[in-house]
Amino acid sequence: MAVTDVAEPFEMSLAAISKHLGVLSRAGLISQERRGRVIWCKLEPGAMKDASVWMQGFGQFDPVDLDAFESFLDQELTDPPDAG
């Protein structure tokens, strides 16, 4: 995918997305190639598999309910703390 296509669904600047992709690239999880003015990103399946195996090592922990966590954060960030 082109970097602009990767960035499209996110509410972040293109510069912020590029920084995130740079980290993934340095980690070997993606590769980036410039073709003309466009930078293309490609997942690196072997590295992704290694990362997946590494993350499975944390399987002794309960799975995180990301929807519940997001709801919690929304509530905490929008409700003012009690003054008492």
33 with 39: CB under 8 angstroms?
yes
Does domain 3-78 bear CATH number 1.10.10.10? yes
Residue-wise pLDDT tens digits, 18-61? 999 999 999 998 999 999 999 999 989 888 788 888 778 776 66
The structure's pTM equals: 0.59
The Cα 79–Cα 77 span in angstroms is 6
Domain boundaries of the chain, sorted by first residue: 3-78
- Amino acid in position 10: F
**pLDDT confidence of residue 80:** 63
**pLDDT confidence of residue 39:** 92
77 with 41: CB under 8 angstroms?
no
Q: Which residues pair with 43 in a beta bridge?
A: 30
